[in-house]
Amino acid sequence: MNVILPQEPAALPTQPHLALGVQASLSGRRWVWRNGADNPDIQRLGAAIAQRAGLPEIVGRLLALRGLSLDGAADFLDPKLRALMPNPSLLQDMDKAAARMARAIQHAETVGIFGDYDVDGACASGILASFFEEAGCAVHTHIPDRMTEGYGPNAPALEGLIAQGASLIICVDCGTASADILNPLHGKADIVVLDHHKSEDALPAILATVNPNRPDCSSGLNHVCAAALAFLAAAATVRDLRATGWFENHPAPDLLRQLDLVALATVCDVMPLQGLNRAFVTQGLKVMARRQRVGLTALLEIAGVTKAPDAFSCGFALGPRINAGGRIAEAALGLRLLRCEDTHEAKLMAERLDAVNRKRQGVEADILDLAMQQAAAQREAGHAVILLAGKNWHPGVVGIVAGRIKEQFNRPALVGAELEDGAVKGSGRSVPGLDLGTVIIAARQAGLLTTGGGHAMAAGFSLPASNVEKFHAFLDARLAGAAELPNAVDLDIDAALAVSGATVELAQSMATLAPFGAGNAEPLVALSNVQVVKSDRIGRDGNTLRLLLRGADGGRLKALVFRVENSPLASMLEDTTRPPLHLAGYLRAESWNGRTDVTFFIQDAARA
């Protein structure tokens, strides 16, 4: 399908209002009020929400900042699937997919599952594999190797699933843009796609393509991941089977126990934690806390997560380790761990993934220093977009490197690996307000790229090395507005607070807004005109600062700063002249040995 794409450079969002007048902090960032935190209408709505919910007024304002209405705050604070679960039939082709999945169960067919090599693909594949096996089907899975097979369905793998007897193949977290691969399988097996990636190409001519981002889908579920779609497809299938009386003679599957995988995928695929996604993660974390899935329990232990897992545990402890297999080692290892039911075997696989993740960190570090230097040179040369390509760079980590560069320089960043055949294969990350995926598709349609696609904030691409300079010029022209961005990412401040108001009770009330992540950032609070009364370095490497703060109102507050080294932030906080400072950070209540205290975790500072 051909589309008409805008020819004008992407426009930047309107300029935000500065918070506490900070134009350049010690880390070089502007402090800005998040979503109009200084807007009187937001403040009035926040007061009304706080009064109805029985919360401190500042927490009501935080809810208003997150787009909550007076009536919507209750579901946000206590998100239940019963209230937020949509009718799966809203998704285009879902009824056809569910009917075919139900028939496969009724006839005990063999089912093939082809999943992507990231966390979302592994979790979606795990959900479906468990669902069909519990229902009595034989299941074969395939996760492609990033280096030898690449992204998306490929003919040899699908033919292999058919050879193993699969009469139904489900492609999860991929397949929407794979008509050339899937269409020739007509008559060999029925194909269902459960995917959420955009595509400007014609949809495959298969049984069903369930994708909330396909042009003709009006479900409004554009921001759910593939694992969530797998869960919804299983729910729709159970509904169909129940309507036929199937469960009068067969046990009904326990779908709720799959919510741990939906939560993990939702967080790791950076889906907005609002509405349905918030319910999936909130309820899924409760399931995960029971530690009934042997593989996840082993991975939590190897990652050192001893408390009840939260969104941070998913994003920074579990996700990177599961992803590591798909990036630089055994693509299917993550899925095998999620499906494992033997404690000893799971422990061995978790140790393997942990070791692979450490290797991935080393591979990334080898690239990152040089990439950062080249990125700085490109920004100084006036490029709106940073585009790097290097020989001997591992294709499995270029996306991570692109993300680091984007965060460091506040510019769209694309990083590619030069392969032996003369091609460059890479990934890109964008900044809010600039749609990278649309520009990548335009570059492909202009003949600059061999392959390319994605969404607003992330995209993948490949091209001949001879086209790199032309591609860079194309990106600079289409995303020219990026050159006007500040050199560091703005720090979004939710509220200003007096030190005396930073209480345990307030921190606990703010924690009711969790889980935090994309679309629901942890509230970032500013303290104005604060002095450091005492500072000392702690930890094995002396890289953590422990502080005692005093406010202009006489209040005192404990604070911590991690990974300070010898940064300008550390120098200012340790300055013995004790200059007045504005501080930005997170207010958290922490319990230790039966005692609960409040601590301010500093992220940035500026001279008052």
Q: What is the rounded average pLDDT of the residues 403-425?
A: 94
Q: What pLDDT digit, counting tens, does each position of 35-77 carry?
A: 878 888 999 999 999 999 999 999 999 999 999 999 999 999 9
The confidence score (pLDDT) of residue 4 equals 30
Residue 302: how many other CB atoms lie within 10 Å: 21
- Residue 16 banded pLDDT, cuts 50, 70, 90: low
pLDDT at 391: 92
Residue 561: predicted pLDDT: 95
Confidence check: pLDDT of 554 > 60: yes
338-390 residue pLDDT tens: 999 999 999 999 999 999 999 999 989 989 999 999 999 999 999 999 999 99
Q: Dihedrals φ, ψ of 265, to 5°? A: -70, -40
**CA–CA distance, 377 with 484 (Å, rounded to integer):** 17
Give 233-285 pLDDT, tens digit per residue. 999 999 999 999 999 999 999 999 999 999 999 999 989 999 999 999 999 99
pLDDT of residue 488: 87
pLDDT over 60 at 12, yes or no:
no
Query: Residue 329 above 90 pLDDT?
Result: no
- Average pLDDT score over the chain: 93
pLDDT, position 273: 95
Mean pLDDT to the nearest integer, 289-309: 96
CA distance 585 to 336: 39
Under 8 Å between Cβ of 228 and 172: no
Question: What digits encode the pLDDT tens for the residues 88-138?
Answer: 999 999 999 999 999 999 999 999 999 999 999 999 999 999 999 999 999
pLDDT given for residue 15 in this prediction: 58
Contact 174, 151 (CB under 8 A): yes
* Residue 515: cis peptide before it, omega within 30 degrees of 0: yes
Please report, for residues 339, 376, 391, 481, the alpha-carbon distance to residue 342 in angstroms, rounded to integers and kept in the order given.
9, 49, 41, 54
- pLDDT band per the 50, 70, 90 thresholds, residue 146: confident
**Region of 108 on the Ramachandran plot (φ > 0 left; ψ -120 to 50 alpha; else beta):** left
pLDDT the model gives residue 14: 52
332-341: pLDDT as tens digits? 999 999 999 9
Angle between the N-to-C axes of helices 119-134 and 259-268, in degrees from 0 to 180, rounded to the nearest 10: 170
The model carries a pTM of: 0.90
3-state helix, strand, coil in the chain (%, to 5): 45, 20, 35
Determine the angle formed by the axes of helices 57-65 and 40-53, rounding to 10 degrees: 120
Burial 545-563 (b: 16+ CB within 10 A, else e): bebebbbeeebebebbbee
Reported as a single tens digit per residue, the pLDDT across 492-548 is: 999 999 999 999 999 999 999 999 998 899 999 999 999 999 999 998 888 899 999
Helix (H/G/I), strand (E/B), else coil: 170: strand
Q: Does the pLDDT value for residue 8 go beyond 50?
A: no
- Annotate 2-32 with b (16+ C-beta within 10 A) or e (fewer): eeeeeeebbebeeebeebbebeebbbebbbb
pLDDT surpasses 80 at 455: no
Q: Tens digits of per-residue pLDDT, 167-199? A: 999 999 999 989 999 999 999 999 999 999 887
pLDDT on residue 6: 36
Q: Which helix (H) or strand (E) holds 239?
A: helix 226-243
Cβ density class 318-343: b for 16+ within 10 Å, e for less:
bbbbbbbbbbbbbbbbbbbbbbbeee
Confidence of residue 469 (pLDDT cuts 50, 70, 90): very high
Name the percent of the chain lying above pLDDT 70. 97
- Residue 409 pLDDT class (50, 70, 90 cuts): very high
Q: How many CB atoms lie within 10 A of CB 451?
A: 16
- Give percent of the chain with pLDDT exceeding 90: 82
